[in-house]
Amino acid sequence: MYWSRCATSGAPHTALRAHTATPVGSNVFVFGGCDARACFNELYVLDADAFYWSAPHVVGDVPVPLRAMTATAVGKKLVVFGGGDGPAYYNDVYVLDTVNLRWSRPRILGDKVPSKRRAHTACLYKNGIYVFGGGDGVRALNDIWRLDVSDINKMSWKLISAPSSADGRSPVTGKDLRPKARGYHTANMVGSKLIIYGGSDGGECFNDVWVYDVETHAWKSVNVPVTHRRLSHTATIVGSYLFVIGGHDGNEYSNDVLLLNLVTMTWDRRKVYGLPPSGRGYHGTVLHDSRLLMIGGFDGSEVFGDVWSLELAVHAYYSQISHFTIEV
């Protein structure tokens, strides 16, 4: 694995943290986020083959400036949910058509909607976007909602896993039934399993790994022998590994690359070559070809506008890729 800083060209764009970075084809759609002074609702597109930035003209119902929202690709459309700006928190849904660059607001059927939140996660499975956790400005959350996106123009919400008491324990057995409430964690979908790692409730920085099966609605805590505390990191599936980059470990911002082997559920630290990026969190990471591209972020004082590439020795990770299931 080899780090290098990418030389980019094209439209100037602001340094960003807590933005979204979503791949659609060979383009990475970067939306919102903030710098040291303000939040934005601009859209930037990085051509991941040419490392060329564009700032396309968008039309329609453009979202308000947002940070710590989610943007989930559903075909060639991006579904943006939640986020906030300063003291404001939102639970709105917006859709960006990445072909004609038009923003719209889908009709939400029914009156059930998640509470306003930011720093949550959102993962697509079948025709549903599964939203977990985040914070509403008063407390951290650990509920799961499913947004039905089978019709992109009219959607509906369903509460899949209700919020728990403050510590996540059952009042009857005292056992942990679900993760503690948190934001700035990561969530990844492998088959029907949602893998939650790390995050923070505003006080504690977590090191735990949880799996939620969206078919059976069951939470399981994963017993991982060696642990790493992280919040505001990114986690990207490559083969049967979860690549965790950067984030904050409760003391400082990190530039570590950690691999969670999803078959053995153990952490693996591989040798990484090249000049690494500075430690940071609140960045975006996407997989394109055999590279992980990291965009922007924040190190506690500086907000970054750079793009870094982590070249993967692909053969090392694709050995288990074709057939693996998470036995949790």
Is the pLDDT at 319 greater than 80? The verdict is no
Task: State the pLDDT confidence band at 268, using cuts at 50, 70 and 90.
Answer: confident
d(CA 58, CA 76): 15
257-283 average pLDDT score:
93
pLDDT at 98: 97
d(CA 208, CA 258): 14
Task: State the pLDDT confidence band at 165, using cuts at 50, 70 and 90.
Answer: low
Q: In the chain, what are the domains? A: 2-320 (2.120.10.80)
Residue (of 192, 155, 162) closest to 178 by Cα position: 162
Is the pLDDT at 317 greater than 80? The verdict is no
269-280 average pLDDT score:
93
The pTM of the full predicted model, rounded to 2 decimals, is 0.93
111-120 average pLDDT score:
95
d(CA 262, CA 307): 27
234-262 average pLDDT score:
95
Is the pLDDT at 270 greater than 90? The verdict is no
Q: Chain-wide mean pLDDT for the chain?
A: 92
Torsion sign, CA atoms 234, 68, 10, 101: positive
107-130 average pLDDT score:
96
Is the pLDDT at 170 greater than 60? The verdict is no
Is the pLDDT at 62 greater than 90? The verdict is yes
290-298 average pLDDT score:
96
Lowest pLDDT segment from 30-34, 57-61, 289-293: 289-293
236-260 average pLDDT score:
95
pLDDT > 70 fraction of the chain, expressed in percent and rounded: 92
Whether the CB-CB separation of 50 and 293 falls below 8 Å is answered with no
Whether the CB-CB separation of 120 and 158 falls below 8 Å is answered with no
Is the pLDDT at 168 greater than 90? The verdict is no
Q: Are strands 303-311 and 291-298 parallel, antiparallel or unpaired?
A: antiparallel
Residue (of 97, 157, 99) closest to 128 by Cα position: 157
Task: Please count the other Cβ atoms lying within 10 Å of the Cβ belonging to residue 55.
Answer: 15
- The SS3 call for residue 73 is strand
Cβ-based neighbours of 231, under 8 Å, separated by 6 or more: 184, 185, 198, 199, 200, 205, 206, 247, 248, 250, 281
pLDDT at 294: 98
Residue 20's alpha-carbon distances to 82, 83, 234, 295, in angstroms, are 12, 10, 11, 9
Cβ-based neighbours of 241, under 8 Å, separated by 6 or more: 259, 260, 261, 262, 268, 317
